[in-house]
A and B are shown apart, each in its own frame.
Chain A
Amino acid sequence: MPLLKVTDLRTSFHTRTGVTRAVDGVSFSLERGETLGIVGESGSGKSVTCYSILGLIPQPPGRIEGGSAVFAGTDLLRCRPEEARALRGKRIAMIFQDPMTSLNPYLRIGDQLIEPLLIHERLSREDARRRSLAMLEAVGINDAARRIDLYPHEFSGGMRQRVMIAMALITKPELLISDEPTTALDVTVQAQILELIRRMQRELGMAVIFITHDLGVVSGLCDRVQVMYAGRIVETADTRTLFHAPKHPYTRALQRSIPALQAKGSTLYTIPGLPPDLSRPVAGCAFAARCEHAVTACRGERPELREAGTGHRHACPRAHAGEL
């Protein structure tokens, strides 16, 4: 049985200007110890998917329209709030892009770190503090005994992200959801943080969902990748297949637009146009308007994810028919 099984998740936002279907029928599952990358551009629904699973969508304006997210036997979308709270912060943890806005600026690092232990494991303050110290050392904070009593503003960006990771991992969760945890960091610090996540994952054997827009980060970290576009998964495969034999035109286009692989002077491939406005109904394939392979049929029926090989699924009927 998978650790997490999400089925037909649909989340929308109801605003004055209309209903935005941010996540529109997303299904995936995650095994214990597995690392899943979710890739997509801004507005593709990758963060909303994870926030929905964790019950972090403000309702209203958000609304979970349907679907289920079963974590170890509990449907996170339908369980009582106290059941969800018992799982969140203990068996499921999350780290965010901006550690400065996720840490409480009024509390010392130590007080924030021991909180999950006091709540979920009912440890005494002394024991919790001891565990926190060990955790800070484990994530590579030098001089932890002194730094545990400092405030978040006294740390650098990379150190804050380490504190966030320590806080997320202190209860030894089975699932860690990371939402662009390295996007705001310098590459050298990003390399440190990715190395840390890799090491902690090995040590704790936890599953990781890694949300990012950076295909480079995904390629070194993840076992499996799913690409999202306009609130749907358009392709999912193991990392090697996705990078070496992508099938969906959007995945291919994303890859071709990365400057890393091109020489100076060559024109970068660009995807024409803009992502669709999700507050309007999209007919057929949401990518059709920007796709160089689109035919009339692409604008008719909404294509579903279908198997194209072992563990490789994508939602392009033309690629399935062998026409691309």
Chain B
Amino acid sequence: MSAPILELRDVKTHFPLHRGLIFRRDAGTVKAVDGVTLSVQKGEVLGLVGESGCGKSTLARTILQLLPTTAGTVLLGGRNLTTADAAEVRAARRDLQMIFQDPYASLNPRMTVFDTLAEPLRVHGVCPLEAIPARVHRLMERVGLAPRFLRKYPHEFSGGQRQRIAIARALALEPRIVVADEPVSALDVSIQAQILNLLAGLCREIDLTLIFIAHDLSVVKHISDRVAVMYLGRIVELGTAADVIERPQHPYTKALVSAIPVPDPDVERTRQRLVLPGDPPSPINPPSGCAFHPRCAHAVARCREAVPPLVPAGPAREAACIRLGEI
């Protein structure tokens, strides 16, 4: 296997909490991302799933260096971004782009489609000014937007079309990696399918590396080569998409898979459902040992002692549970 295009080594992103306005004192730390090690190959689609608050969006922002890393390293093509200076990070942004969940909030309402797409080209000086219109044209075609929309503003578009504009903007600089944070969660099913097809097509055609964040496992399974399941700032299971979702090994992944409603009444009426008790615990004061143990049906005393590491659990498969062989 060739060297990974993106590598995370024990990445931690913590947010300090303060109490009081004038006499600020420390009131703990939110460990949003707490020791993530992961590598992504060129052209791969990696799905990142987990419940709200598990740190998946923080991890995305950490990869892009939109948030300072507390510890660990983020390597893009072998270059360490956590120690890079501002100019280097800025240069690295050409290779790393992001698509956000809400296309209503992530597009500037005062900029036309043309301005939105031309801005990154101008800022990074990727082509002579007179070549910009032609490139914007090509971008719009690439994402399936008619060129007659060039002079329109975001409010004149539907949600799905806005997400296309956001995708075009992310692709403008021909990045090596795109991180998409819940790009289809705000869209209706029929529109969601269009955007998923578009993203899958782009990955195939331009060999794009995509990190796809979602809470919907069926969407992730459809688009991803590999899936990483996060719980409270850590990866608890990692493997090929179909393998993880069809044969989950970690008790949390099992519960997550079992909670997805299946659009088939016969399956729904007969299957065994594992309903997890309670809510995810707070990342300010996580449970000792395995953070999942208070909600886990298989937890034993040992689970409270130490944080379980990710261990091999089959071919190209890792899981962080000390009772893998027993359950």
Q: Are A187 and B266 interface neighbours, CB within 8 A?
A: no
Residues of A within 8 A of B223 (CB): 259, 264
Q: Are B200 and A267 interface neighbours, CB within 8 A?
A: yes
Q: Which of A153-168 contact B (CB under 8 A)?
A: 156-159
Decide yes or no whether A41 CB sits under 8 A from chain B: yes
Given contacts A188-B51, A260-B263, A267-B197, contact A42 B188 (CB under 8 A): yes
Give the contacting residue for B221; candidates A195, A257, A259; CB below 8 A: A259
Decide yes or no whether A97 CB sits under 8 A from chain B: no
Residues of A within 8 A of B260 (CB): 187, 216, 260
Residues of A within 8 A of B262 (CB): 216, 219-220, 260
Interface segment out of the listed A56-64, A88-96, A268-276? A268-276
Decide yes or no whether B320 CB sits under 8 A from chain A: no
Q: Are B268 and A219 interface neighbours, CB within 8 A?
A: yes
Q: Which of A240-299 contact B (CB under 8 A)?
A: 240, 243-244, 253-255, 257-265, 267-271, 274
Docked pose: A265 CA to B225 CA in angstroms: 10
Docked pose: A41 CA to B158 CA in angstroms: 13
Docked pose: A270 CA to B242 CA in angstroms: 22
Nearest CB of chain A from residue B37's CB, rounded to whole Å: 25
Docked pose: A240 CA to B268 CA in angstroms: 11
Decide yes or no whether A20 CB sits under 8 A from chain B: no
Q: Are B265 and A219 interface neighbours, CB within 8 A?
A: yes
When each residue 170-194 of chain A gets 1 if its CB lies under 8 Å from chain B and 0 otherwise, what string results? Answer: 0000000000000000111111101
- Chain B residue, CB-CB nearest to A242: B265
Give the contacting residue for A257; candidates B189, B267, B277; CB below 8 A: B189
Docked pose: A255 CA to B262 CA in angstroms: 11
Docked pose: A186 CA to B189 CA in angstroms: 17
Docked pose: A159 CA to B278 CA in angstroms: 9
Given contacts A191-B259, A214-B261, A220-B262, contact A257 B193 (CB under 8 A): yes
**Extra pairs beyond A258-B193, A270-B193 (13, CB < 8 Å):** A187-B216, A187-B217, A189-B279, A191-B259, A191-B275, A195-B273, A213-B188, A213-B189, A257-B190, A259-B218, A264-B221, A264-B225, A265-B200
Please report A residues at the B interface, Cβ cutoff 8 Å.
Answer: 41-42, 156-159, 186-192, 194-195, 213-220, 239-240, 243-244, 253-255, 257-265, 267-271, 274
Task: Kindly list the 10 A-B residue pairs having the minimum CB-CB distance in the complex, ordered from nearest.
Answer: A216-B261, A220-B268, A260-B218, A259-B222, A257-B193, A191-B259, A268-B193, A41-B188, A186-B51, A271-B190
5 contacts between A and B (CB under 8 A): A186-B51, A187-B259, A190-B259, A243-B265, A271-B190
